[in-house]
Amino acid sequence: MKAILIKGGRVIDPKTEVDDILDILITGNKISKIDKEIRKNDAQKINAKGKIVCPGFIDLHCHLRDPGRPDEETIESGSESAIAGGFTTICCMPNTEPAIDNEGIVNYIYKEAARANLCRVFPIGAITKNREGKEITEFGELVNAGVRGFSDDGDVVADGNVFRHALEYSKTFDVPIFEHPIDKYLAQDGLMNEGFVSTRLGMTGSPVIAEEVIVARDLLLAKFTGARLHLCHISTKGAVELIREAKKKGVKVTCETCPHYFFFNDEVLESFGTSYKVNPPIRSEQDRQAIIKGLRDNTIDCIATDHAPHCQAEKELEFANAPFGMIGFETALSLIIKELVNKEKFDWIKILEKLTVNPAKILKEKLGVIKQGAVADLTIFDPKKKWKFTSNTIKSKSKNTPFLNKELIGKTIGVIVDGEIKYYTED
């Protein structure tokens, strides 16, 4: 296989704290050399001048709807969407039909991912059989088959005793338990964040305490069991504060937020636009600010997309009847650049560690780093490029995004997975 030489890019690697103009040579599936001015005539060259070269993004949280809803997304279309957004590794949640709760489904996902041959797809197994919240699944069999964590995402594990047992049982395999922290009783049939905006709009609210009650419960259980807890899509100020305190006390907890929780506040719901309907809901400005603070002080470890495709017909309903979720792979980088880099002045190392080395650590994968001998999973992007996100250019099968026909800033130019170029667009 021909070597690949990435020339003249600004290489940023959070793990080794490199931020410099460097060339990278890839031989086979590994990074073989990183230096100023590498020359190799027979290599395929990628001109990365003016671009940022970093470890491939790792998304801990997405929905690929496969098996079950191939009209909304498949593992192949989801992978295509992921690499277009710069993701080289994605973890798909088990709320499929049927759920990822047995070896057969895990094998199916690996088979489909191999057939797509684009990014790495790691399944997350269901915590409970058929995600019913009652009996835990066969963690041993599922881990052997290749799941990288467990979650009943989409639903909380409402029964504290079941969740305790899941945490305890996971210790044998040292895999994280991903919680969807929303108390279903407190959230009721809430459509948006409960607060001043929901009061004005007359919409049923899902209160911040629905999230915080479960975060608090789970932190106590994580401390009690000593197991690894990962809290999904954190969206409230109170949740960030609880996690911050727990981390100080040494609880083995990690967490993620999603771009829409630091990009929007609940005033966008005034449009009644169903593309803003997500779970947990887009919160108040105060919560949004707290999420940014949590990212800044590293209380929040990762930025995940919660990519959630839905077919157009289902989203084109009255707000109350539309499903929760927005697609996220292809817009995540732009939102990060616009809000966190350009506006909030985050430095690149801090941002990129939440997309690379931190999620890699949670998955216990030797990914997310640029160094000699490391696996060559790389993303090249232009942080200044302006482009329009249109129905024709979206790679996902679903178009449920509030950014349709909007101009975005920052775009993936090239993606290398396991030493192979999987995505490349000339300007």
Partner 1 sequence: MNPKKDLLGIEKLTGKEINQYLSLANRFVKVLERPIPIVPSLRGKTILTLFFEPSTRTQISFSVAAKRLSADIINFSRATSSVSKGETLLDTAKNIEAMKVDGVIVRHSASGAAKFLADQLDAFIINAGDGSHEHPTQALLDLMTMRQNFDNFKNLKVLIIGDIAHSRVARSNIFGLKTLGAQVAICAPPTMIPLGIDKLGVDVFYNLDDVIGDFDVVMALRIQIERQGAGLFPSIREYRTLYGLTNERVHKMKPKSIIMHPGPTNRGVEIDPDVADSDKSVILDQVKNGVAVRMAILFIHAGGRIE
Report the interface residues with partner 1, using CB under 8 A.
191, 194-196, 198-205, 207, 272, 313, 316-321
Query: Residue 112 in 3-state DSSP?
Result: helix
In the complex with partner 1, the residue whose CB is nearer, 173 or 272, is: 272
Instruction: Please tell me the distance from the alpha carbon of residue 3 to that of residue 147, in angstroms, as a whole number.
Output: 32
CB 376 within 8 A of CB 31: yes
Q: How far is the CB of 191 from partner 1 (least distance, A)?
A: 8
CB 218 within 8 A of CB 179: yes
CB 79 within 8 A of CB 113: yes
The answer to whether 306 is a known catalytic residue is yes
Q: Which amino acid is at 269?
A: L
Q: How far is the CB of 317 from partner 1 (least distance, A)?
A: 6
Query: Residue 156 in 3-state DSSP?
Result: coil
Instruction: Please tell me the distance from the alpha carbon of residue 2 to that of residue 243, in angstroms, as a whole number.
Output: 47
The β-bridge partners of 21 are 10
In the complex with partner 1, the residue whose CB is nearer, 314 or 339, is: 314
CB 53 within 8 A of CB 380: yes
Instruction: Please tell me the distance from the alpha carbon of residue 38 to that of residue 423, in angstroms, as a whole number.
Output: 23
In the complex with partner 1, the residue whose CB is nearer, 276 or 423, is: 276
Q: How far is the CB of 200 from partner 1 (least distance, A)?
A: 7
Instruction: Please tell me the distance from the alpha carbon of residue 348 to that of residue 333, in angstroms, as a whole number.
Output: 12
Tokens of 102: 């047995």
Catalytic residue among 306, 377, 382, 418: 306
| Cα distances (Å, whole numbers) of residue 323 to 188, 276, 313, 315 | 15, 10, 10, 6
For 357-362, which contacts have Cβ atoms below 8 Å and span 24 or more sequence positions? 357/14, 357/15, 357/55, 358/254, 358/301, 358/302, 359/58, 359/59, 359/60, 359/89, 359/256, 359/301, 359/302, 359/304, 360/55, 360/58, 360/89, 362/60, 362/149, 362/176, 362/230, 362/254, 362/301, 362/302
In the complex with partner 1, the residue whose CB is nearer, 1 or 317, is: 317
Q: How far is the CB of 192 from partner 1 (least distance, A)?
A: 10
Q: How far is the CB of 236 from partner 1 (least distance, A)?
A: 14
Q: How far is the CB of 331 from partner 1 (least distance, A)?
A: 23
In the complex with partner 1, the residue whose CB is nearer, 313 or 427, is: 313
In the complex with partner 1, the residue whose CB is nearer, 199 or 425, is: 199
Q: Which residues are catalytic?
A: 306
